[in-house]
C-alpha cells in the first residue's frame, strides 16, 4: 500500500522525513541502546531531548523570555478548564469570542469556573465569518479575552489579532500553530494540541506569559497549575516524552523549510490553489466568507448531500482520504496542514476538475 494524501483534520499527516527519521532512531536513539520511548524522563539523555525541543520551539516561534513554553497533556480541551482556573483570580468574568465549534466548547467549559461572557458570537451567520474589531467590545475588567485563531470545523481564520488593550489575549492555536509567523509578545497564552501541526496526539503546548502564573484557584490540580508546571519544567509528572521528541523532529523539518515565514508562503500557495479552483467552478461552493478563509481547513460543498458523499467516496479511491466535513457542518473539508505536500493539493485539484466535468452542469 502506497502512502495516501491524508486530509484528516487531526490527528493528521506528518512530514515523511520526520516519520523516517523516527523509524531509523526507534530502537536505538543516539547510541543509547534504547528508544526515546523507553527512557526515564529524568535521564540525562532524555533531558537533552526535552531541552532541545523547548529551545527549538522558542527559536522557531520567536518566544521571548517573558514567556514560558510548557509541554503538557490533556489536549486543548483540558486547557479550556486550566485557563479559567489559573487566570480568573479576583476577576468577575472573562470574555469569549465564539466563532466556531471549539471556541464554543471553551466558553461552555469556562463558565464552570467563573463568569464567562460571550463578547461576540457568529452563530447567527452559521460561523462563516470573523467580525471586524469594530463589531464588538472587550470588557476592560475581564480576566482575559479568549479566541480561536483558526476554526478547524468551519474553516475560518482570524485575519487580524484582536486588540484587547490590557486584557490578556488567550488564543487556541491548535490548528494553525507553526503555520505562519506570530508575534508571541502580544499574547497572554497561546495553546495547542499537537496532533494537527506539531506531532502526535497526547502532547499539548502552552506558551504563557510568566507574570500570568501564580494565581491559580486553590483547588487547581497541580498538573494544571501553570506556576507549578513552569517551576518544574513541565515535569510534575511524566510528560508525553515521545510526543515531545517527535515535536523536536517536526521543528527541525520546519527550520529546514525556512521557518514560519516560509511555511506561511507555502501554506498560502496551497490554500490559494484550492480556493481559486472553487471560485472558478460552477459545482463547488466555498462554505465561508472570502475574507475569513482558513489556510489550514478549506471547507466547501457541492450543494447536494448525496453529491458531497459521492465526492468523498470517489476521492478516497484515488488516495485522497478523510475529506468529509465535520458532522456539525457536512460538506467537504480539506485539512491542509504544514505536512500536506503541494503534490497532494495538485492531485486533489485534478480530481476536482475531473469530478466537475462528470457531475457539473
Ligand X SMILES: *Cc1c(COP(=O)(O)O)cnc(C)c1O
Site residues (vs ligand X, CB under 6 A): 10, 75-77, 102, 148, 152, 172, 174-175, 193, 196
CB of 9 to ligand X, least distance (A): 7
Helix, strand, coil % in the chain, rounded to nearest 5: 40, 15, 40
Q: Give the torsion through C-alpha atoms of 106, 111, 115, 119, to 10 deg.
A: 40
Residue 10 or 331: the one with the smaller Cβ distance to ligand X is 10
CA distance 310 to 213: 51
Residue 164 or 174: the one with the smaller Cβ distance to ligand X is 174
- Give the CA distances from residue 257 to residues 91, 161, 251, 252, 261, in Å, rounded to whole numbers and listed in that order: 43, 25, 10, 9, 9
CB of 27 to ligand X, least distance (A): 29
DSSP structure string for 290-359? GGGB-SSEEEEE-SSHHHHHHHHHHHHHTTEE--BPPTTT-SEEEE--TTS-HHHHHHHHHHHHHHHHHH
Residue 102 or 300: the one with the smaller Cβ distance to ligand X is 102
Residue 152 or 215: the one with the smaller Cβ distance to ligand X is 152
| DSSP H or E stretch at residue 280 | helix 259-280
Residues 60-69: b if buried by 16+ CB within 10 A, e if exposed: bbebeeebbb
Residue 10 or 243: the one with the smaller Cβ distance to ligand X is 10
Cβ atoms within 10 Å, residue 47: 15
CB of 100 to ligand X, least distance (A): 8
Instruction: Locate the DSSP E strands across 81-168.
Output: 93-98, 115-121, 145-148, 150-151, 156-157
The CA angle 242-243-248, to the nearest 5 degrees, is 95
CB of 258 to ligand X, least distance (A): 25
Residue 224 or 283: the one with the smaller Cβ distance to ligand X is 224
CB of 76 to ligand X, least distance (A): 4
Residue 187 or 311: the one with the smaller Cβ distance to ligand X is 187
CA distance 87 to 45: 35
CB of 65 to ligand X, least distance (A): 27
CA distance 4 to 34: 31
Nearest to 247 by CA among 30, 45, 71, 77: 71
- Residue at shortest CB range from ligand X: 75
CB of 339 to ligand X, least distance (A): 15
CB of 360 to ligand X, least distance (A): 32
Residue 39 or 84: the one with the smaller Cβ distance to ligand X is 84
Amino acid at each position: 500500500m502506497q502512502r495516501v494524501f491524508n486530509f484528516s483534520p487531526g490527528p493528521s499527516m506528518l512530514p515523511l522525513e520526520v516519520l523516517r527519521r523516527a523509524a531509523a532512531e526507534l530502537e536505538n536513539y543516539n547510541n543509547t541502546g534504547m528508544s526515546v520511548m523507553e527512557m526515564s524522563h529524568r535521564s540525562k539523555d532524555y533531558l537533552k531531548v526535552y531541552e532541545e525541543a523547548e529551545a527549538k520551539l522558542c527559536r522557531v516561534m520567536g518566544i521571548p523570555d517573558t514567556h514560558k513554553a510548557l509541554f503538557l497533556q490533556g489536549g486543548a480541551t483540558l486547557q479550556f478548564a486550566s485557563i479559567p482556573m489559573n487566570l480568573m483570580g479576583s476577576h468577575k468574568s472573562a470574555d469569549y469570542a465564539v466563532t466556531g465549534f471549539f471556541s464554543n466548547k471553551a466558553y461552555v467549559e469556562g463558565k464552570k469556573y467563573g463568569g464567562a461572557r460571550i463578547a461576540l458570537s457568529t452563530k447567527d451567520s452559521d460561523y462563516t465569518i470573523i467580525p471586524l474589531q469594530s463589531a464588538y467590545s472587550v470588557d476592560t475588567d475581564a480576566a482575559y479575552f479568549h479566541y480561536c485563531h483558526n476554526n478547524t470545523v468551519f474553516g475560518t481564520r482570524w485575519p487580524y489579532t484582536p486588540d484587547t488593550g490590557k486584557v490578556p489575549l488567550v488564543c487556541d492555536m491548535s490548528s494553525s500553530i507553526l503555520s505562519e509567523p506570530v508575534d508571541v509578545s502580544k499574547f497572554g497564552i497561546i495553546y495547542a494540541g499537537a496532533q494537527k501541526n506539531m506531532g502526535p496526539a497526547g502532547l499539548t503546548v502552552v506558551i504563557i506569559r510568566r507574570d500570568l502564573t501564580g494565581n491559580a484557584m486553590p483547588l487547581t490540580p497541580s498538573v494544571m497549575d501553570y506556576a507549578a508546571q513552569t517551576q518544574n519544567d513541565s515535569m510534575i509528572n511524566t510528560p508525553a516524552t515521545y510526543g515531545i521528541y517527535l515535536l523536536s523532529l517536526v521543528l527541525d523539518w520546519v527550520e529546514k523549510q525556512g521557518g514560519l515565514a516560509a511555511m506561511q508562503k507555502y501554506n498560502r500557495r496551497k490554500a490559494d490553489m484550492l480556493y481559486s479552483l472553487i471560485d472558478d467552478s460552477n459545482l463547488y461552493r466555498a462554505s465561508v466568507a472570502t475574507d475569513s478563509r482558513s489556510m489550514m481547513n478549506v471547507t466547501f460543498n457541492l450543494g447536494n448531500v448525496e453529491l458531497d458523499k459521492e465526492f468523498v467516496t470517489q476521492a478516497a479511491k484515488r488516495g485522497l482520504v478523510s475529506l468529509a466535513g465535520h458532522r456539525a457542518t457536512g460538506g467537504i473539508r480539506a485539512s491542509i496542514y504544514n505536512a500536506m505536500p503541494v503534490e497532494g493539493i495538485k492531485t486533489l485539484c485534478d480530481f476536482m476538475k475531473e469530478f466537475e466535468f462528470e457531475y457539473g452542469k
